Structure 1
Amino acid sequence: MGLLDGLRAVLGLRAEADAKRDAHPDDLFGMSTAYLTMEADLGYESMNEGALCFAGVDSRRFRDAVDEVEAILEAGREETGTDFSVTEDDHGYHWVILSDSDPEDLITSLHFAADTFIEHGYGSRLLAAVFGYEDHEGPAYWIYSFRRGAYYPFAPRSGRERDSSTEFTLEAALDGELELEREKEYWYPLWPSQSGRRPWE
């Protein structure tokens, strides 16, 4: 199974078939308190970045939905200061990438973007929302799988290695604060491209 097939299986069709409950964009607001725990209790600093991953559809109607997401984020940029861009990665997946030093604004903007896709009937195209943190040992991400309706930690290290100890520590620390994915087979790594530093690069 290749990387692309793996992503489709774990965050896509298989996850949808095995879903225990419907995903809801309001789940993203769980990060509003979780980031405080990450910073105050665990010593992580926010990267001030988050991203929404989705699978595209070759249709004008879907393009209109993406255009509306961009229009909403553009309208909110002056008020919240949240910068954004929309890109496609090496695997053919699309990302709405947001940057803001205020975590609340970042989370709210991600919620608006996800909710807009759902309102247009494209909730099934949403794959994941990603929130970035880092400490002296390296980056750590919280990934929300829309198909599973749950979060899981991802701590990538050089050489495409994962820091499992860090991931389990984060799981224990945020248990009860976030809706966590209990089945580890769904803790799928979102590796960046060879030249990228973030999962969406």
Structure 2
Amino acid sequence: MGIFDTLFGRQKPVPPAKNERLFAISTADVTLQTQEDMRPAQTAGLCFQGIASAPFKQINQELEELLKIASNDGEAPVTAKSYEDKLGYKWVLIASEDFQQIVTTVHVVSQKLIDEGYGDVLLAAVFRFNDEKGKPVYFIYNYKRGNFYPFVPRPDSHSHQRNNGDEMRLGTVMKRDLPMEPELERWFAMWDLPF
């Protein structure tokens, strides 16, 4: 952005959402299970900025139809529900016993938003895994950057603290399987996740 852009209030265009690299989490699941003793949770979330209610209702109806089709295609049923967090961000929470079905459904929903012209409001896809003690470990996919990064909140931490050591270790281990965000300052925390 130049000085004239600043003076005239022009903003740098938002890069298009990068959706295809999302599928890397499907193969990374094997590494996480075999090397890290982590199991995928049966829920993932797609987070995006608010959309005006009328267009969102129409998109939501179309998404529900897509989810019914997706649920009938796989062996494990897929369910989805909408959620708005305390910061005003919208979520689509997707649940299934089949992790591959979850990943595919997250991709379908995000692609639908991109196709409808809402790719610039997509923030993240969040996949939860549980470690051997059942504690949550999240892999967050940043749509603007097309990269993943780990997020490990400290257990029972009401003060919003992260386990940076585990995040760094997982980032190193998983960079063979996932397009990992190289800039650590872009490993944003996502507190109070709805799953």
Say whether the fold is shared (TM-score over 0.5): yes
1:143 aligns with 2:140: yes
> How many Å separate the matches in 2 of 1:30 and 1:59?
32
Residue equivalent to 1:97: 93
TM-score normalised per structure 1: 0.82
Residue equivalent to 1:162: 162
- Partners of 1:18 and 1:148 within 8 A in 2: no
Correspondence list, 1:4-83, <5 A? 22-80=16-74, 81-83=77-79
Residue equivalent to 2:8: none
Gaps of 5+ in 1: 1-15, 193-198
- Partners of 1:155 and 1:163 within 8 A in 2: yes
Residue equivalent to 1:196: none
Residue equivalent to 1:179: 179
Residue equivalent to 1:108: 104
Instruction: State the shift of 1:176 in Å.
Output: 2.6
Gaps of 5+ in 2: 1-10
> How many Å separate the matches in 1 of 2:183 and 2:59?
32
Deviations 1:35-73 (A, max 9, x none): 111111111111121110011221523432232122211
- Partners of 1:22 and 1:148 within 8 A in 2: no
Deviations 1:1-29 (A, max 9, x none): xxxxxxxxxxxxxxx9698x754221111
Instruction: State the shift of 1:134 in Å.
Output: 1.2
- Partners of 2:80 and 2:93 within 8 A in 1: yes
> How many Å separate the matches in 2 of 1:23 and 1:187?
17
> How many Å separate the matches in 1 of 2:107 and 2:176?
21
Q: Among the aligned pairs, what percent are the same residue?
A: 31
Length, aligned pairs only: 179
TM-score normalised per structure 2: 0.84
